Structure 1
Amino acid sequence: MARSAIDIASHLLATAIVLALPCSAGGEELRLYTVTGDSISESLTGLLGDATHGRALVLERTNTCILCHSGPFPEEKFQGDLAPNLAGSGSRWSIGQLRLRLVDASRFNPETIMPSYYRLDGLDRVATNWRGKPILSAEQIEDIVAYLATLRD
């Protein structure tokens, strides 16, 4: 069912500041973040991510990035074609926009098939062992953002 622009705007305003909630990463809580427009400008950890580790996470099949996305990964035979190619991500989107896309892609497209990697509220069809847990930690989000920001071509 399609959502109206007013419903989407209300959702964005109602969830602009996220409260701390339990997290799977060693019992830590979800970090506070503020959505401003179409981005999260501040790092979830207060630090820059590790781009090398971020690349490894993107290619790790358990995080599912390359199951849907393709990119500049010549060593990977099988890459997805359901979502945009990651090549040039750092040129197309700011670091804050990349961060919000990973945290909660549904803010850009409520019908997206991309998971919300750092959100717990309002999710449907969550497997029992993932309930109350984000898919990625704040550190992993920042590492992936750091890597995607390097993809300029």
Structure 2
Amino acid sequence: MVLNLGFGSFQLENAAPQVFATVKDRPVTAAELDDAIEDPIDAREVFDLIRDINDPEHPLTLEQLKVVAEELVTVDPATRVIKVMFTPTIPHCSMATLIGLCIRVKLMRSLPREFKIDLMITPGKHDQERAINKQLQDKERVAAALENPNLLSVVNKCIAEPEY
């Protein structure tokens, strides 16, 4: 199957990915709805922000493909560092950088600026893990990538809110 994202066509690398069950939404408590109570950002909240990101190759979410999982997210409230690891579906996935860019953009747009986002591929899960991690941590490279209108369009489609 050939896919066209607006900046070239390519062959699907993982034409039949394994699909996993999704986590049920957590119940919202009265304390979470009370604006007078400070609700610290936790791993579940960060996971909830990224779980519905659409995969660029398939009509599935990153959660359904188990690219993101709550146990791969940590939040250190003292240092305000949010660490997110993601796991591409195959070790040679050419979409790994795009997926990481989508996660970074979604978090940058959703979280307060004082949080540092530490985004990386789960260790040992991609052939080009070090190079991709370096790209995703480089603020200038991320900014330059987002200046490409075709790439930005793809990112915006992937992170668009789901329609229920």
Give the alignment's TM-score, normalised by structure 2: 0.24
Q: Structure 1 or 2: larger strand share?
A: 2
Relative contact order higher in (CA < 8 Å, ≥ 6 apart): 1
